[in-house]
Chains A and B, each alone.
Chain A
């Protein structure tokens, strides 16, 4: 197999892995901000991977250029949407989840 086919293969599998991880993160994380971390950022990586794989598949053609423009638009629109959601959550007063402190054990000083 040629290098381009291998690149597609690796990129599509990376995309699948990160999409799965992002969607799992939405269900497992405790609050809106951490959910955004999981979904927005992992899904961004997966979409970028899939678009790069499509660019590798289409070779040197007008389609590659259009895909590159779609990638650029995605790089602009996705973080803006994420920031808007985070900002709305922040301004409606949702406090971020904090890691719970360690429970005091026997023998700890008061």
Chain B
């Protein structure tokens, strides 16, 4: 068995386990029918999608498994950011104080998953939308941009989230 086959098997089984866990969460009290049909469906889906679920080069454990405590802390943090920023955006929209620009900056995060979560968090935070993400390059549409300078954009949009995410998926 080559290392590549082993890694494929690990990816397949972890995809299957995550799908099955999600199924168990939604299925309610488990009975035989639910267990068998859920296992069959997650097996087929895992066979179809394990190549996208875990990318082949993402072999670092700390790139995939988050720090659970900090991950739980991240959710209220991002909810707070969303609420704070939506009041600001609402005020800007009503008062017409808008100056939208597209800014580009690079993230320092290494893990693909952390980069995806950063991209989603930027989009979730009102006032900024991530347009493109390509490796570590991010293209962000900023509703009230004080400048298009790359370092300033990164500092104001992403730095605080980046710090936390860098500790979650180090």
The number of chain B residues with a CB under 8 A from chain A is 33
The number of chain A residues with a CB under 8 A from chain B is 32
Could you tell me the distance in whole angstroms from the C-beta of A20 to the nearest C-beta in chain B? 10
B10 at the A interface (CB under 8 A): no
Could you tell me the distance in whole angstroms from the C-beta of A7 to the nearest C-beta in chain B? 14
**Do most interface residues of chain A lie in helix, strand or loop, or is the interface mixed?**
helix
Bound form: Cα–Cα A66–B26 in Å: 8
Taken residue by residue from 91 to 107, chain B's Cβ proximity to chain A (1 for < 8 Å, 0 otherwise) reads as 00110001111100000
Instruction: Tell which of A17, A42, A90, A97 touches B100, judged by Cβ atoms closer than 8 Å.
Output: A97
A41 at the B interface (CB under 8 A): yes
Bound form: Cα–Cα A99–B133 in Å: 25
Contact yes or no, A33 B82, CB < 8 A: no
Contact yes or no, B131 A41, CB < 8 A: no
Contact yes or no, B124 A79, CB < 8 A: yes
Contact yes or no, A45 B102, CB < 8 A: no
How many Cβ-Cβ contacts under 8 Å join chain A to chain B? 92
Q: Provide the residues of chain A in CB contact with B90, threshold 8 Å.
A: 17-18, 21, 42
A64 at the B interface (CB under 8 A): no
Q: With A34-B143, A96-B101, A96-B102 in contact, is A87–B132 under 8 Å at CB?
A: yes
A36 at the B interface (CB under 8 A): yes
Q: With A21-B93, A90-B139 in contact, is A41–B126 under 8 Å at CB?
A: yes
Q: Which residues of A contact B (CB under 8 A)?
A: 17-18, 21, 25, 28, 33-34, 36-38, 40-42, 44-45, 48, 66, 69, 75-76, 78-80, 82-83, 86-87, 90, 96-99
Q: List 30 A-B contacts (CB under 8 A).
A: A25-B93, A33-B131, A33-B141, A34-B100, A36-B129, A37-B100, A40-B129, A41-B123, A42-B86, A42-B89, A44-B82, A45-B82, A48-B82, A66-B26, A69-B25, A69-B26, A75-B120, A75-B124, A76-B120, A79-B119, A79-B120, A79-B123, A83-B120, A86-B130, A86-B141, A87-B131, A90-B131, A98-B101, A99-B98, A99-B99
